[in-house]
Structure 1
Amino acid sequence: MMDELQALERWAGGLLAQLTPTARRTAMLDVARELRRNQQARIASQRNPDQSAYEPRKARAVKGSKKLREKKGRIKRAAMFAKLRTARFLKIEADATGLAVGFGGRVSRLARVHQYGLTDRVAPHGVEYKYPARALLGFTEADRELIRDRLLLHLTRSESQ
């Protein structure tokens, strides 16, 4: 994947260098916004960048004879990472030299644990659990095409002006 991004950078780098810094920043901001939308949609659909499904949550054990998931109407089965994928947490940065889409602040630790499948505490002072890797951020083939198409759009706009 990194080789593909470096090839894209070599291809677009010379063309983008011909743009003014303001036009480059506008192009980068546009690409970053679209990438964030794609990442949000992919996280909402519970898919890794390779389009495999996220590993489901582990059922929680409770005291007594019934398991928590067996109690009908008590557990809300909502998609994971609902708040994490919002623009409040999934930040974009763009300037004339590049762009970044990622998590910042306190939620970056939580995102990193899930992205790489690290070990973390389930609750403060609770048991440790090795989370399965669920790639929150990553490039799909559609993302690569989106970057190429958006950059071409901005390059053709600047040439026509």
Structure 2
Amino acid sequence: MDDIQQLHQIATQMLEKLEPGQRRRMLFRMSMEMRRPNQRRMTRQVAPDGSLWEKRKPRPKAKPATRPAKFLYPSGGVGEPRVVDMRSWIGRGDYLVGFDREAEGLRTFERAKIIKWITPEGVAGSDGEATARRAPRAKQMFRGLRSGRHLRAGADADGGWIEFTQRASRIALIHQEGRRDRVSPDGPEIDYPQRELIGFGREDEARLLNLFIDEAGDALGWGRRAGV
């Protein structure tokens, strides 16, 4: 008999001796304890068995800016300054990449080396400094769903549970089972990959059994780790 089976036997014996109120309080404590590892796994983006969730599809790359950029820049990056005039460009961190009209080709410019911004003709502004539209950083999935506001724990004398609130459960179920759904009310339907948000792993079983025996042992006056 392995350790888990032995703990099961001890837990069964103790459960039969508990009063309904004692059972409900203990099961509620266990439900709260069970919610925590599920929240941690959602933070780590892994399933209860430890496998990684399928990553979210990459977002579209940043689009070229529609506002032109014009500035004084050292020729060759170190020589005499010249006017750079770009009608199509994109920002990449500390650099601007775009079509240099004078060089008639794509060029890369360091923002720190720009001597002076010039307001392009027909564009309102005092200094003409360019700001690019950048692709948003990838956000961690399901940050809201794992909060206590949406992931609840509860118990009665017959059992404990963790579950999503009614409002969140429809979204959670789509991802939990990998169902098909619309990306927006009027958008196209897609097949979402299965990402198990809540579940029960092998390590959870051992943790809960030990917690149960500790709590039930105290309630029955048997002391901690009774019978182990």
Report if TM-score (shorter chain) is over 0.5: yes
Contact residue 38 and residue 197 of structure 2 kept, 8 A: yes
Q: Which runs of 5+ in 1 are unaligned?
A: none
Q: CA deviation at 1:63?
A: 10
In the TM superposition, 1:52-91 aligns within 5 A as 52-61=51-60, 74-91=135-152
Tell me if structure 2 keeps the 8 A contact 1:27–1:150.
Answer: no
Q: What's the offset of the Cα at 1:79? A: 1.3
Structure 2: which amino acid aligns with 1:24? R
- 1:27-52 per-position Cα deviation (integer Å, ceiling 9, x unaligned): 10110001001110111010011111
Residue matched to 1:139: 200
- Higher-Rg structure is 2
Larger helix fraction of residues? 1
For 1:98 and 1:159, locate their aligned partners in 2 and report how far apart those are by CA, in whole Å: 19
Structure 1 counterpart SS, 2:166 = coil
Structure 1 residues 11 and 127 mapped into 2: Cα distance closer, same or farther (>3 Å)? farther
Preserved contact between residue 119 and residue 129 of structure 1 (Cα < 8 Å):
yes
1:119 Cα deviation (Å)? Answer: 0.3
Is 1:119 matched with 2:180?
yes
Which structure 1 residue ranges, 4+ long, deviate > 6 Å from structure 2? 62-65
- The answer for the alignment partner of 1:19 in structure 2 is 18
Residue identity matched to 2:23: R
What is the rounded CA distance, in whole Å, between the counterparts of 1:71 and 1:44 in structure 2? 29
1:43 touches 1:136 (CA, 8 Å); kept in 2?
yes
- TM-score, normalization by structure 1: 0.83
Instruction: Describe the SS at the equivalent of 1:93.
Output: strand
- Which residue number corresponds to residue 165 of structure 2? 104
Larger strand percent: 2
Instruction: Determine the C-alpha separation between the residues in 2 that align with 1:120 and 1:71.
Output: 34
Contiguous gaps of at least 5 residues in structure 2: 65-90, 94-133, 223-228
Indicate how the Cα distance of structure 1 residues 101 and 143 shifts in structure 2: closer, same or farther if over 3 A, else same. Answer: same
Q: Kindly tell me: are residues 11 and 126 of structure 1, through their superposed partners in 2, closer, same or farther at Cα, counting changes over 3 Å?
A: farther
Which amino acid in 1 is paired with 2:54?
Answer: E
Counterparts of 1:109 and 1:13, CA distance in 2: 35
Say how many residue pairs are matched: 152
Relative contact order: is structure 1 or structure 2 higher (C-alpha 8 Å, sep ≥ 6)?
Answer: 1
Taking the aligned partners of 1:71 and 1:32, their CA distance within structure 2 comes to 47
Query: Which deviates more, 38-47 or 71-80?
Result: 71-80
AA aligned to 1:33 is: M
